[in-house]
A and B are shown apart, each in its own frame.
Chain A
């Protein structure tokens, strides 16, 4: 496999009246072409900002990428001009945003919006683009796709809007698709349809997919690898079985323990993580998880652990005491 994107020491900051929000802190990882990477973590941990940084869609001011490299097909995206980046966005890297209602424009028909997306990057006639748009809507499973092109977003259900977003994301056959919480707002039977659809499309088209979500269940089901984020950093990452079954970070362990499973023995107690995530305006010196961690000692409070490779496994963890942690992953 060859890597499709390599992110090195990415830092993104928001310079606000209250101070500097350290939203993304030294994030480094590589995605292989054709792989599905799950990105998980709690609200506010930097999942969206890190993805927007890759797309270079961070509002500036107040935001700024202050450090790092984003190597995509041999080029550092952070060194490209705006015009060069616009060509990559949508064509090579496409993103589906967290809220489909804000990313589909309510005053234009769904078909018009897909046609525009296609014509932005391809030299085709309106007629050809419309034909392609109909095929795309059919591909994502919208019944009567041709006729539905002339519908406005509000005439679609939540699940159909999400499918339309996926169709738009796929319109230029990107090499990397970033999907930010694509199913969070949907009901579970509709989510199951979308997950099934994306897995099938990935099989057929072979693009790499970054799937950002709160839902450790969905990631377990579809991802090859996972990044667990906490307070703007990746604290555990690796092949999915390694992270779920040989969990080595106390936060990941806590997260898995606080999730009930549908197939649990009834009466299984949930092991909640005490306390709250830290304020990104005032990150502690040492490990960001230390205040909530049962393994904490002086070193944890004084010094920030960085990702360390676990020999022999596709698995990295940022914790001083990972060797003590018996991750049975339930």
Chain B
């Protein structure tokens, strides 16, 4: 893939959730939420993960941190094989991988002050004395742009954007190398989204953080990412640097997805070239055979309904899973 050593390598990762039924609640099938996904994340970079509701983005993030037990596949984090780790080693290494969540209301304990929320990871994982902890909390609040005098306030006294900053301060407490950002701005208003995204970009520059940035908003993901992965029904359809994904997408799904994004400019002609997809995303309990995009693909051929396309590197650092990627103009 690259001569640089990745911070995280995910290989052939699968996470299937059982579907149970009948009076005995026996397993009668599986939702293939993540189905054979491979990617790397390098130190200090942002990998954007996009795709429509239910395509498996959150499950990728959580399984990669082994918050979900993978069905199969490999995860190497900074040279360590996460799959092989026992519970206590795993807890130690998770200090270096943190997560921030979509809902800044639900993810903070309403009965804890801001100070104690940010302090909790320091209590559990460090041997700092109380003076050191106090100083570190002040420093963290300052880094994320919150007034350090707010330490004794409760989450409900803050706006959505401010709560997201509290979540970021908590995630930074143990100096992680990687933060999984799962829709960190989706619940915020536009003018507040930019505040949080600018903060995440600043922190990345200063602290050398890597991000897995999960979101629906393609314009925002393209803005913040170095590389982007496009998911559909549990699989990565295409992965490349952000300009290749935007300017030279080869997968028909990526093309349709990019063309569907409205541009906030009444003179933009992008909508004229829009590729409208028919129908809806298939039920993930019962995905199509062959290529999983075949029910909506505007260029599907007979082969697409019988043979699953291989996920492969078609150009340097440009990966995709479409039978016709090499011949796409």
Contacts and interface: CB of A to CB of B under 8 A. Distances in A.
Contacts of B259: 192
A192 B260 contact: yes
A187 B52 contact: yes
Interface string A74-104: 0000000000000000000000000000000
A196 B216 CA distance: 20
Interface string B163-195: 000000000000000000000000001111111
A188 B261 contact: yes
B184 to A, nearest CB: 14
A263 B276 contact: no
Contacts of A272: 191-192, 194-195, 198
A217 B267 contact: no
A216 B185 CA distance: 17
A241 B268 CA distance: 11
Contact of B266 (A188, A241, A259, A270): A241
Residues of B in contact with A, size category? 35 or more
Nearest to A159: B280
Chain A CB within 10 Å, residue with most, of B194, B246, B276: B194
Contacts of B195: 272-274
A196 B276 contact: yes
Interface stretch (A23-31, A62-70, A118-126, A250-258): A250-258
B197 interface: yes
Contacts of A245: 266-267
B267 to A, nearest CB: 7
Interface residues of A, number: 50
A330 B222 contact: no
A241 B280 contact: no
B194 A187 contact: no
A262 B222 contact: yes
A189 B55 CA distance: 13
Interface string A202-217: 0000000000001111
A158 B52 CA distance: 12
B324 to A, nearest CB: 20
Contact of A188 (B222, B260, B268, B270): B260
B194 A270 contact: yes
B67 interface: no
A270 B262 contact: no
A273 B193 CA distance: 10
A259 B219 contact: yes
A256 B256 CA distance: 25
B189 A43 contact: yes
Contacts of A244: 264-266
A271 interface: yes
A214 B190 contact: yes
B264 A42 contact: no
A261 B219 contact: yes
Interface in B134-155: none
A159 B259 CA distance: 18
B10 interface: no
B270 A255 contact: no
A2 interface: no
Contacts of A260: 219-220, 222-223
Nearest to A226: B266
A189 B223 contact: no
Interface string A183-203: 000011111110110000000
Contacts of A187: 52-53, 216, 281
Nearest to B158: A276
A137 B259 CA distance: 26
Contact of B261 (A42, A217, A270, A274): A217
Contacts of A256: 264
B80 interface: no
B269 to A, nearest CB: 10
A190 to B, nearest CB: 7
A221 interface: yes
A269 B192 CA distance: 14
A259 to B, nearest CB: 5
B82 interface: no
Contacts of A190: 52, 280
Nearest to B191: A273
A220 B268 CA distance: 9
A179 interface: no
Contacts of B159: 276
Contacts of B260: 188-189, 191-192
Interface in A234-289: 240-241, 244-245, 254-264, 266, 268-274, 276
A195 B276 CA distance: 11
B284 to A, nearest CB: 13
A264 B190 contact: no
Interface in B205-257: 216, 218-220, 222-223, 242-243, 246, 256-257
Interface of A: 42-43, 143, 157-160, 187-193, 195-196, 214-221, 240-241, 244-245, 254-264, 266, 268-274, 276, 329-330
17 contacts: A187-B53, A187-B216, A189-B277, A214-B190, A220-B268, A221-B262, A244-B264, A258-B190, A258-B193, A262-B222, A262-B263, A264-B222, A266-B222, A266-B243, A272-B191, A272-B192, A276-B161
The 10 closest A-B pairs by CB, nearest first: A217-B262, A258-B194, A272-B194, A260-B223, A273-B191, A187-B52, A192-B260, A270-B194, A42-B189, A216-B264
